[in-house]
Amino acid sequence: MAQIEAVRVVQDAAYAASLSDQDWYALAQDPTWQEMVSEQSEMVAGVIAQYGNKLPGGGQNSAPAELPVFRPFQVIGTDIARIQGYGIVTNTGTYTENLRMAGMLFMRTLRSRYPHAKITSIDTSEAEKIPGVRKILHRGNLPEEYKDVFLGSALPTRFLFNEEVFEVGAPIAVIAADSEHIGDVAIRAIKVQYEVLPAALDMLEAMKSSTPKQFTSNLDGTTIAVTAPLVRGDPTSAKADVVVDNVARKSTEQHVALELTNSLSYWDGDKLNMTYTNQHGHGTRSGLSQALKIPQNKVRVLQTGYLGSGYGYRSGIDLSEVHAAILSKLTGRPIKNNYTRYEDFVTRTHRPEFRNEMKLGVNRDGTISFGIFKVIANVGAQRAGAANGAWVNMQNLYKIPNLRLEAVDVMTNSYKSGPYRCVSHPNGTFALETTMDKAAYAINMDPIEFRLKNLNEVGNPDTKRPFSNIGIRDCITGVQTAINWKNVWHAPKAKQVRPGVYHGVGMAAHLCSHGAGSNPSTGQVIINSDGSVQAVSGTTDIGSGQRTNMLMIAAEALGVPLSTITITPYIDTDNTTDTGGTNGSRMTNTGGRGMYEAGVDARNQVLKYGADKFNSDFANAKADTRVTAADLDMGPDGIVFIKNDPKKTLNLAAIVQFKATSIIGKSDYLWPTTWEQVAVAAHAAEVEVDTVTGTVKITRYVAAHDVGKAMNPFSVRQQVEGGVVMATGAVLTEELLIDKATGLPLNPNLLDYRPLSIKDAPLAEVVIVEKPKAYGTFGGHGLGEPPMGPPAPTIVNAVYNAVGVWVTEMPLTRDKLLAALKASN
Amino acid sequence: MRRVSLAIDNVNYDLVVDNRESLWETMNFQLGLANSNLGCDRAQCGACTVLVDGKAVNGCTVLSARLGRGQKIATVAGLPTGPGVAGLHPVQRAFWLDGGFQCGICTRGFIMSTVQLLGAIPKPTTAQIAEGLAGNICRCGEYAKIFTAVNTAAAELRGEKVTHLASPVIVGVAGTAEAAPGAAGVSKEFQFDKPMGTIEDYDPFEQALKKRDGILGVSGNERSVTVKWDPAKLDEAKVRAILVDLGHAAR
């Protein structure tokens, strides 16, 4: 299957126009494209609007206007602990990092120390002599068939070993050795000659025409893409009583999944087997298949079922995984590739640095007149897009009759961008919600009343797609009540609680496009001859409890007690069907839809074969009664009965034994494109700001999320609690820095890039709002990512309320706050 | 290379180790024991925490060559006293059923740090828990439920009866459902109208609430309480009335 460059389809109109029908079919199956559809739907919206009819599976299924009526829930809505729990708290659960195999070698990588350079020579002769070094692979001895292989989209292009490298950390050589310690010694023994080239390290400088280009392009400097602006009404002529300006900036953040990226690869004849810390088994399979030029059925990807998460950066493969597969093939030995924390920080992807230039025109009566918003994103050393992903709330959350949205993506020789839990939406929410608060205070209006007055509760104003039962009003009033807003809100800098320490309260609303389902949704439910049930799903569990939820959905759809059905924690692509990646908060609705449809299909078969069995028994007893499936029902205990003669019963074992082969329910569900499927939320917080030390302490935090229907309220609360902590890290401490002179990363370790510890973490109180969605599995809408959006503006708005200064640059460190306080005096 | 005899969970392993080899590497690769996990490579995250002679250390930066002189290494593998859910150590069971993890990569380390903490302080305050666990990072951010799990485990270790927030799925013989610990009853989280001053104010309230007829389980903190009740004896309105009666009405 020829490689279609998914990002180029979106950013290069000529490239998109050049695709054949076959190309569009191939694109729809490409996991990179599928991930963009679920994680970065704003990026693909324009292409889908223009070419959607060429993409199979899109728009072929029209959505119901309403949810079906469900039987009373037995399992959905209960608090169920993780199926992997026993393994996690003991030593019986195997994470990928715990794996080992006989004959295993360890891989280590020599990486570029310059952000932009040509590799002019490489000498591995000394390294090869080191005892325990088994193979060294680099551009010079890479087998011919892999020399044109590249990942992602071209220009700039990421080959397996580039001659011209575009980032610190670009791979130059890989070593297979008896131990990692020997590999580390060998790295230092390889001699590399670099021709150092000028590097683009500052996003705004890189956009200028004076910056040398690094790849063929019609745009200035190293600009990657300028998205066609979205214009609604007449924003440049619109009048407003007050115009508010806001520049909001975010620094580079990273996922920092605590299980370091790692894999174990071996070949079984001509078939690759790889266990890898990934969020999409079939997507990984597809990526490896393409890179290694072998069919998908010659690649087997395994997940152990225990995964130290991913938060978005491990849906697919990077160059390192291809290197490991090739090393394994050349050495004939299993290869263990453990990233160091430095490699994981630097060479995997990041939420990019953003700059937002916001202009909002409001009237004194509280109505919004116009919005002009520009987003610039630093996508790092690759072709990627991130800026226009920040548009979704600007476009949809409030009624803004005149709107202009602009987006620019810039390449620099630095941290590569990629989806990180909620992708570009935390930036969009940060930019818009701090602007909204600025406007509210400018017209002396309660920030909550200002938002409630301008809420858009209908649908996408530009495409006209409707929302389904949107719960944004309930979320905002939910936090208003939970934090006792009407009694605690006050004018800025009005409440000193201790000398130099001021109390503040702030809130933010959130809307993003994550949490709905997207193609494919598959799954199977198998009923065995003893009546026990197996749910089979390709869903990855990244820690949120997706596979526990899959089990619950299958149990509810089929209608059997949870104790009679199992699901494996692990996945093997050899015996599961693709149900997409665990990204975009989509799994409960996507893999879950697969479970739902399969469970319903199995239930229908149970009633059909149950009727056949009853009729066979009646015939044998010479009775005249005959029944059809419609005359039967199955109780929540899994016993089938005749509705008007309920003492006549059958259990599942009897029905399957009568059928003589297992009952298999399956799903082939394709998602409709009728609805504007959005997640909504609101958070509020009380803070104490110390104007002497510049510290911000969060004293109270409440969060309301509309999840349609909470499958497992226990894990729903966990997602919000955890997301608030994670996002608050980006507000208070987390930023990845580089030395502007050399381009070297300054702090890729866990002490200098500090995720929050238990001492600093805010403890969110969770309000679950349930407004069932017509498109949702059991009415649900996913929420793994939405909690990441509101914390930054919530805290910044609370700080303004406390001390009367705006700090709209993340992270909100003490030096920035103190400088802002000083400037305001 | 060096010969060592490592005492791990009361079993001796005679090994030859590279001088540069950490305890984590030895357990994970040489012995094939998934007794702890790796999160970084330089004692910055605590995922690899094990106890050596009762003291929590980072297994990624303890060299195996420096052990093997009779030091007792304790890991999660040595904690269960029997099979199944009931055989788990209270700390293990609480982290699982009270939701003290999401992806779980940090959990083996958190459990050992908690075992050391509760061994030293059987009834820790919130501040003491935070201090004792400050060396363990949870990137999923599940600190809220880590507090719950530690408090519940501490209570059980002190001999008190506890219930948990969620039920494990226990698969029985086809067609039968086994009762799981903490499974019965209706559960709901209540926010207090007026939060209490400190976690210390919460403790006597919880004790009093647990004594009421029909109350099956209680956990919480100074701002909210999660109550599990027997629907045959109580409903939400009656539970709210009990909270009012105890002086802490809920919204």
Q: What is the pLDDT of residue A59?
A: 53
Contact B177 A561 (CB under 8 A): yes
pLDDT over 50 (residue A511): yes
Q: What is the pLDDT of residue B202?
A: 86
CA distance B157 to B149: 12
Residues of chain B with C-beta less than 8 angstroms from the C-beta of A82: 96, 101, 104
Q: Which domains does chain A have, with CATH numbers?
A: 6-54 (no CATH), 96-197+260-307+314-347 (3.90.1170.50), 353-516+674-824 (3.30.365.10), 521-669 (3.30.365.10)
CA distance A539 to chain B (A): 15
| Number of other residues whose CB lies within 10 A of the CB of residue A139 | 16
Continuous segment of H or E residues that includes residue A124? none
Contact B142 A721 (CB under 8 A): yes
**B37, B146, B169 ranked by CB distance to A83: nearest:** B169
Residues of chain A with C-beta less than 8 angstroms from the C-beta of B165: 79, 714
Residue A389: exposure state from Cβ atoms within 10 A (0-12, 13-18, ≥19) = buried
pLDDT over 90 (residue A668): no
- DSSP H helical segments within A30-146, as ranges? 31-39, 41-51, 85-89, 125-128
Q: Which H, E and C letters describe A521-554, residue by residue?
A: EEEEEEECCCCCEEEECCCCCCCCCHHHHHHHHH
CA distance A699 to A702: 10
pLDDT over 80 (residue A98): yes
Contact A759 B103 (CB under 8 A): no
Per residue of chain B (251 residues), what is the pLDDT tens digit? 999 999 999 999 999 999 999 999 999 999 999 999 999 989 999 999 999 999 999 999 999 999 988 899 999 999 999 999 999 999 999 999 999 999 999 999 999 999 999 999 999 999 999 999 999 999 999 999 999 999 999 999 999 999 999 999 987 543 333 333 444 467 788 889 888 888 778 888 888 898 888 888 888 888 889 888 877 788 888 899 999 989 898 98
| Number of other residues whose CB lies within 10 A of the CB of residue B71 | 15
CA distance A298 to A337: 21
**A90, A749, A750 ranked by CB distance to B80: nearest:** A90
**HSE-CB for B93 with a 13 A CA cutoff:** 24
CA distance A27 to A6: 7
Query: Which of A49-63, A415-429, A486-500, A791-805 bottoms out in mean pLDDT, i.e. has the lowest?
Result: A49-63
Contact A256 B139 (CB under 8 A): yes
Interior/surface letters A604-638, b for 16+ CB within 10 angstroms, e for the rest: ebbbbbbbbbbeeeeeeeeeeeebebebbbbeeeb
Residues of chain A with C-beta less than 8 angstroms from the C-beta of B131: 759
Asked if A328 and A334 touch (Cβ cutoff 8 Å), the reply is yes
Contact A91 B33 (CB under 8 A): yes
Q: What is the pLDDT of residue B137?
A: 98
Those of residues 325-344 in A touching chain B at CB distance below 8 A are: 338, 340-341
Closest-CA residue of chain B to A83: B169
pLDDT over 50 (residue A608): yes
E strand segments, A436-513:
496-498, 501-512
**B39, B143, B177 ranked by CB distance to A725: nearest:** B143
Return the residue matching tokens 């950490």. Answer: B22
Contact B138 A256 (CB under 8 A): no
Q: How many residue pairs bridge chain A and chain B with CB atoms within 8 Å of each other?
A: 232
CA distance A766 to A789: 15
Continuous segment of H or E residues that includes residue A69? none
Residues of chain A with C-beta less than 8 angstroms from the C-beta of B164: 81
Contact A764 B251 (CB under 8 A): no
Q: Give yes or no for A649 touching B (CB within 8 A).
A: no
**HSE-CB for A563 with a 13 A CA cutoff:** 16
Those of residues 379-418 in A touching chain B at CB distance below 8 A are: none
Closest to A353 in 3D by CA, of A256, A404, A426:
A426
CA distance A797 to A698: 12
Closest to A690 in 3D by CA, of A585, A778, A814, A592:
A814
Task: Give residue A2's pLDDT band: very low, low, confident or very high (50, 70, 90).
Answer: low
Taking only the tens place, the pLDDT of each residue in A339-389 is 999 999 999 999 999 999 999 999 999 999 999 999 999 999 999 999 999
Residue of A82, A105, A185, A258 for testing the chain B interface, max B β-carbons within 10 Å: A258
CA distance A243 to A403: 14
CA distance A293 to chain B (A): 32
Asked if B68 and B141 touch (Cβ cutoff 8 Å), the reply is no
pLDDT over 70 (residue A61): no
**B92, B143, B165 ranked by CB distance to A89: nearest:** B92
What end-to-end distance do the CA atoms of chain A give, in Å? 64
Residues of chain B with C-beta less than 8 angstroms from the C-beta of A717: 99, 189
Those of residues 270-309 in A touching chain B at CB distance below 8 A are: 306-309
**B76, B133, B174 ranked by CB distance to A653: nearest:** B174
Can you name the residues that pair with A78 across neighbouring β-strands?
Answer: none
Can you name the residues that pair with A83 across neighbouring β-strands?
Answer: none
Closest-CA residue of chain B to A751: B44
Contact B99 A548 (CB under 8 A): no
Closest to B18 in 3D by CA, of A265, A324, A106:
A106
DSSP string, A367-405: -EEEEEEEEEEE--SSS---GGGGGHHHHHTB--SEEEE
Asked if A697 and A711 touch (Cβ cutoff 8 Å), the reply is no
- DSSP H helical segments within A131-195, as ranges? 180-189
Enumerate residues 6+ apart whose C-beta is below 8 A from A124.
A136, A138, A173, A190
Q: Give yes or no for A723 touching B (CB within 8 A).
A: yes
Closest-CA residue of chain B to A563: B171
Residue A646: exposure state from Cβ atoms within 10 A (0-12, 13-18, ≥19) = exposed
Return the residue matching tokens 């392993």. Answer: B13
CA distance A460 to A392: 9
- The two most distant CA atoms of chain A are separated, in Å, by 98
CA distances from A566 to A144, A261, A427, B87, B98 (A): 47, 29, 40, 22, 22
CA distance A515 to chain B (A): 18
DSSP state of A513: S
Residues of chain B with C-beta less than 8 angstroms from the C-beta of A787: none
Contact A88 B107 (CB under 8 A): yes
CA distances from B9 to A91, A159, A180, B72 (A): 12, 48, 27, 7
Contact A89 B175 (CB under 8 A): no
Q: Give yes or no for A636 touching B (CB within 8 A).
A: no
Task: Give residue A620's pLDDT band: very low, low, confident or very high (50, 70, 90).
Answer: very high
Residues A186, A191, A196: CA angle, nearest 5 degrees: 130
Q: Which domains does chain B have, with CATH numbers?
A: 2-73 (3.10.20.30), 84-157 (1.10.150.120), 186-245 (3.30.70.100)
Taking only the tens place, the pLDDT of each residue in A418-459 is 999 999 999 999 999 999 999 999 999 999 999 999 999 999
Closest to A655 in 3D by CA, of A529, A526, A524:
A529
**A94, A179, A311 ranked by CB distance to B34: nearest:** A94
Q: What is the pLDDT of residue B181?
A: 40
Q: Is the ipTM reported for this complex over the cut 0.90?
A: yes
DSSP string, A414-433: SPPB---TTTTHHHHHHHHH
CA–chain centroid gap for A191, Å, is 39
CA distance A75 to B156: 28
Q: What is the pLDDT of residue B180?
A: 38
Residue of A90, A783, A785 for testing the chain B interface, max B β-carbons within 10 Å: A90
Asked if A375 and A408 touch (Cβ cutoff 8 Å), the reply is yes
Which two three-digit tokens encode residue B31? 């012995």
Q: Is A41 left (phi over 0), alpha (psi -120 to 50) or beta?
A: alpha
3-state SS assignment for residue A240: coil
Return the residue matching tokens 């569900």. Answer: A669
Asked if B196 and B112 touch (Cβ cutoff 8 Å), the reply is no
For residues A735 and B234, the model is more confident at: A735
- The reported pTM is 0.91
**B77, B168, B174 ranked by CB distance to A532: nearest:** B174
Which two three-digit tokens encode residue A376? 């610039």
User: To the nearest whole number, what is the mean pLDDT of chain A?
Assistant: 96
Interior/surface letters B221-236, b for 16+ CB within 10 angstroms, e for the rest: bbbbbbbbbeeeebee
Residues of chain A with C-beta less than 8 angstroms from the C-beta of B101: 82, 88, 543
Q: Give yes or no for A236 touching B (CB within 8 A).
A: no
Kindly report whether the peptide bond that precedes residue A156 is cis, defined as omega within 30 degrees of 0. Answer: yes
Contact B141 A763 (CB under 8 A): no
Which strand ranges, in their side-by-side order, compose the sheet holding A501-512?
Answer: A496-498, A501-512, A679-690, A696-706, A765-769
CA distance B55 to B46: 13
Q: Give yes or no for A695 touching B (CB within 8 A).
A: no
Q: Give yes or no for A79 touching B (CB within 8 A).
A: yes
> Rg of the Cα trace of chain A?
28
Q: Give yes or no for A722 touching B (CB within 8 A).
A: yes
Q: What is the pLDDT of residue A58?
A: 57
Q: What is the pLDDT of residue A3?
A: 80
**HSE-CB for A355 with a 13 A CA cutoff:** 10
Contact A179 B146 (CB under 8 A): no
Task: Give residue A1's pLDDT band: very low, low, confident or very high (50, 70, 90).
Answer: very low
Q: Give yes or no for A85 touching B (CB within 8 A).
A: yes
Asked if A758 and B133 touch (Cβ cutoff 8 Å), the reply is yes
Residue A232: exposure state from Cβ atoms within 10 A (0-12, 13-18, ≥19) = middle
Residues of chain A with C-beta less than 8 angstroms from the C-beta of B96: 81-82, 85-86, 88-89
Those of residues 458-487 in A touching chain B at CB distance below 8 A are: 481-482
Interior/surface letters A723-734, b for 16+ CB within 10 angstroms, e for the rest: bbbbbbbbbbbb
Continuous segment of H or E residues that includes residue B15? strand B11-17
For the residues A102-131, what does the mean pLDDT come to? Answer: 98
| Number of other residues whose CB lies within 10 A of the CB of residue A289 | 18
Contact A85 B168 (CB under 8 A): yes
Q: What is the pLDDT of residue B174?
A: 37
Q: What is the pLDDT of residue B213?
A: 84
Q: What share of chain B is helix, strand, coil (3-state, %, to 5)?
A: 35, 20, 45
Contact B166 A755 (CB under 8 A): no
Asked if A795 and A687 touch (Cβ cutoff 8 Å), the reply is yes
Q: Give yes or no for A88 touching B (CB within 8 A).
A: yes
To the nearest 10°, report the CA torsion of A232, A235, A241, A244.
100
